Amino acid sequence: MTDIALPSANASRHPLLWPLLATLLIIGWSSGFVGIRYANQEAGVMLLLFWRTLLSGLILLPFALAIGPRLSMRAIRDQALFGIMAVFLYLGGFALAIEQKVPTGLVALIADLLPLAIAALSQPVLGERLTRRQWLGTAIAVVGVLIVSFDSLSFGTAPVWAYGLTVGSMLIFAVASVLHRRRKTQAMPVHQSLCIHTLTGSVLFGLCALTQGSLAPPMTRDFAIGMIWLVLIATFLAYAVYYTSLRLFPVAKVSAAIYLSPPVTMLWAWMLFSEPLTGAMFAGLAVTLVGVWMTSRG
């Protein structure tokens, strides 16, 4: 991941910077559902993730080689390790859990509790202490997420280890986020680190997809739309804004914006797939907004 942290005082000179980054982060983070909804109709999850990461890495590769500091083997190794954590284990863990019949609503709920894990880790690892108001805001945001997700929750019949896998994947990304914030000695532009992360993920996802069949992509319109969405918005926008925000703001503040991902995902589904909106979704959105506002003001 990117590894240079700018003083928070610099960020405070731009009062509109955080609202802008938070808005872009929420749009990017919640849009992964859209790309998967299109592409997963035509391909298995591992094949989908292979092409998502491969295309992302190949698009970034010429820019990573031509723009920015020279890539040393040590830097590539360090970034590849973060790529394994933040791309392969995080995305792949949830994908495997879904394939093992863990209900999608439950997987999404556990994934959206990521900010809670990051908030818990930020104090012992980073020394970023949350105030009582921020902890209260975190609790309120979690309640909002539960309200939004309640109608889609079920426990299914998956093996016990698959449920643990969803929790483990979420915790791995939380650990990767706080480690990213702590590393300040080796500067690397976002496009270079994200290139290494996605190419590392593509190798591992490719090996997994090979065990299930061919790596050839489905030559269909829906798969192409899904890939464009996943690469440009769910990867480039979401990851790049997330990593950039971690340079400028406390990690708990940045991650709190992810609490708004479930209600915004519901809006995506309504706009693009005509899925119904309920009163509970709007109530959950309102509660979550209050919690995120309290957490971000700390």
Q: What pLDDT is stored for residue 225 in this prediction? A: 86
pLDDT number for residue 32: 77
- How far is C-alpha 168 from the geometric centre of its chain's CA atoms? 14
Rounded distance, CA 283 to CA 288, Å?
A: 9
The pTM (predicted TM-score) of the whole model is 0.78
Tell me which residues of the chain have a pLDDT lower than 70: 1-14, 103-105, 123-128, 149-157, 180-187, 275, 296-298
Q: What are phi and psi of 21, to 5 degrees?
A: -65, -40
Nearest Cα to Cα of residue 265 among 27, 69, 103, 17: 27
Supply the pLDDT for residue 185: 40
43 φ, ψ to 5°? -150, 160
Chain-wide mean pLDDT for the chain?
A: 79
Q: What is the pLDDT of residues 39-50, one digit of tens each?
A: 777 778 889 899
CA-based nearest residue to 110, from 160, 158, 157, 149: 149
256-296 pLDDT, tens per residue?
788 787 778 777 777 877 767 777 777 877 887 787 777 76
Contact status, residue 215 vs residue 49, Cβ threshold 8 Å = no
Nearest to 203 by CA among 80, 99, 96: 80
Residue 68 parent element (H or E): none
Give SS3 for 196: helix
Single-letter residue type at 160:
V
CA distance 277 to 255: 25
- 152 secondary structure, DSSP code: G
CA distances from 284 to 115, 139, 235, 288 (A): 17, 13, 26, 6
